[in-house]
Structure 1
Amino acid sequence: MSTAIDIKGLNVYFGDSHNLFHAVKSATFAVESGASFGLVGESGSGKSTILKAITGLAPYWEGEMTVAGQPLGAKRDRAFYKTVQMVFQDPYASLHPRQSVDQVLSETLRLHGFKDINDRVDQLLKDVGLGPAFRFRYPHQLSGGQRQRVAIARALAPNPKILLLDEPTSALDVSVQAEILNLLKDLQAEHDLTYVMVSHDLAVVAHMCDAAAVMRNGEIVEILSIEDMRAGKTAHDYTMQLLNASANRVATVAAD
């Protein structure tokens, strides 16, 4: 099996030389093609910053990042965004309020050079469980879960192989979260996708991922399999604290 993402010694900084914040410290991990990898930790631990570094949204970084066999430099080209797409945390903020669903998806397809726009929009909506009736609606006419489905459809538009998922359900009602997580699992199987998922919720990661890196204060303190996470087998006290805090949720989701 090939490696989809390989991160070695990643350091990410914010600010300037007079006030530099070291947000991610020597992060190292690899994700195999077709696998799901979680980045877990409290708010401010550096999880989302790693995704920003991969996508080119964090300009000050050092280390080695390889995606789909290609080393990453300072800039990302169009070929990168055909391979890697991101689903953001807040579906309310990630969609343009004055663009219909059709405009959002059609514009993305055109940017990536697709011609058969009409058929592809219909297929994308079908893939995410939305029918043709949603095509000409605007974000304010959609529920939170429906908006996130549109955001997922937009991410799928270029036919990427890797999706970066930044807390994709945390802004949704609990009743809708499971629907979106199950949709993502189905899409992964159908499209042979690789996922990197950021979450503060160990139960979500236990449901979605094969392995996870636990982050604290910008550092990866431990990488463990989901089997070990569910069994409470951990080598680090902080991981055990997280597991104890969410033990009932992890057990419940694991049972599902």
Structure 2
Amino acid sequence: MIEIENLRVVYGAGALRTVAVDGVSFGVAEGQSFGLVGESGSGKSTVLRAITGLAPVSGGTIRVAGREVPKRRDKVFYSQVQMVFQDPYGSLHPRHTVDQILSEPLAIHRLRDRKDRIVEALRQVGLGASFRFRYPHQLSGGQRQRIAIARAIILEPRVLLLDEPTSALDASVQAEILNLLERLRAERGLTYILVSHDLAVVAHLCERLLVMWRGGAVEETSAEALRSGEVTSDYTRTLIRATQGFTRAGA
């Protein structure tokens, strides 16, 4: 479903030139959930932004469903690929109601039966029609992220790009959102690319993953190998040890 070959993302020029992603390649089969992990600044979120056209692609090839993605993303691309951002507080327009937020992609793609589509999208993310005319400030963090997911699935895409979709949420809400994403993938046959610094989240939601460091690929492995510690890279083993050694204050 998704093929990335030698992806390269470079920002700036001269003394300000920064190579954010350097020669990253991977493939994701249809219906698979694939993880990108690594420390902050490793380039994992930049990969998602490059796929969607939010970051400049300096080299390499991106294909979705066998079609090379054009430099200028078109409606065909966005009808197939949607993104859920990390911050549910910043990704929703504060002065738009939920109805307006969910209507916008339908209007752009000139789809009819907007009310029915909105109500159905809300139902699928576990919210009722009564949420249509609420504003983001009237919602909890988990409810806002559910609205962001509803906006992503309302066009019935085949691919969701998930950029740390639970990291801004309370621990009790994180599990609810992960279970929702797991259910939607099973029901809709969706393909996921999940970015996370939380190895437990990736091991739970993904079959395979790519470990990144300083913009490059360290190793591609399976969630099972991650859980068992049977990985080949010293850097990956360091990540696993760091995760195991972390406990929340007061825990």
State the TM-score bracket (shorter-chain normalisation).
over 0.9
| Aligned-residue offset at 1:81 | 0.1
Structure 1 partner of 2:249: none
Q: CA deviation at 1:85?
A: 0.2
**SS of corresponding position for 2:12:** strand
- SS of the equivalent of 1:13 reads strand
Structure 1 distance, partners of 2:82, 2:93, is 17
CA distance in 2, matches of 1:248, 1:128: 34
1:59–1:74 contact (8 Å) kept in structure 2 = no
Counterpart selection for 2:102 from 105, 113, 116: 105
Alignment TM-score, normalising by the size of structure 2: 0.96
Superimposed CA distance per residue, residues 69-106 of structure 1 (whole angstroms, 9 cap, x where no aligned partner):
11123210010000000000000000000000011111
What is residue 233 of structure 1 aligned with on the other side? 230
- What is aligned with 1:213? 210
- SS of 1:93's equivalent in the other structure is coil
Rounded Cα–Cα distance in structure 1 between residues aligned with 2:119 and 2:57: 40
In the alignment, which residue of structure 2 is the partner of 1:69?
66
Cα separation, 2, equivalents of 1:225 and 1:248 = 21
Q: 1:196 aligns with which of 193, 197, 201?
A: 193
Deviation per residue, 1:195-230 (Å, 9 max, x gap): 000000000001100000001111110100111111
Map Cα deviations across residues 223-248 of structure 1 (whole Å, 9 max, x no partner): 00111111111100010011112238
Q: Do 2:69 and 2:77's aligned partners in 1 also have CA atoms closer than 8 Å?
A: no
- Spell out the pairing of 1:33-48 with structure 2 (5 A cutoff): 33-48=30-45
**2:158 corresponds to:** 161
Q: What is the match of residue 19 of structure 1? A: 16
Stretches of structure 2 that go unaligned for 5 or more consecutive residues are 247-251
Q: Letter of the aligned partner of 2:226 in structure 1?
A: M
| Aligned-partner SS, 2:90 | helix
- Rounded to whole Å, the distance in 1 between the matches of 2:215 and 2:168 is 23
Write the deviation string for residues 131-175 of structure 1: whole angstroms up to 9, x where unpaired.
111111000000000000000000001110000000000001111
Normalized against structure 1, the TM-score is what? 0.94
Is 1:183 the counterpart of 2:180 in the alignment?
A: yes
Judging changes above 3 Å, is the alpha-carbon distance between structure 1 residues 248 and 133 closer, same or farther for their aligned structure 2 residues? farther
Q: Distance in 2 between matches of 1:25 and 1:217?
A: 9
Runs of 4+ in 1 over 6 A off after TM superposition: none
Instruction: Name the SS of the counterpart of 1:246 in structure 2.
Output: helix
Match of 2:81 in 1: 84
- Over aligned residue pairs, what C-alpha RMSD do you find? 1.1
Query: Is the Cα–Cα contact under 8 Å of residues 213 and 220 in structure 1 kept in the other structure?
Result: yes
Contact 1:14 1:60 in 2 (8 A): no
Match of residue 117 from structure 1: 114
- Give the secondary-structure state (helix, strand or coil) at the position aligned to 2:142: helix
Tell me, which stretches of 5 or more residues in structure 1 are unaligned? 250-256
- Between the aligned partners of 1:247 and 1:32, the Cα distance in structure 2 is 30
Q: What amino acid is the match of 1:35?
A: Q
Task: Give the letter aligned to residue 188 of structure 1.
Answer: R
Q: How far apart, in 2, do the equivalents of 1:53 and 1:139 lie?
A: 28
**Identity between Structure 1 and Structure 2 (%):** 59
CA distance in 2, matches of 1:165, 1:198: 6
SS at structure 1 position matched to 2:241 = helix
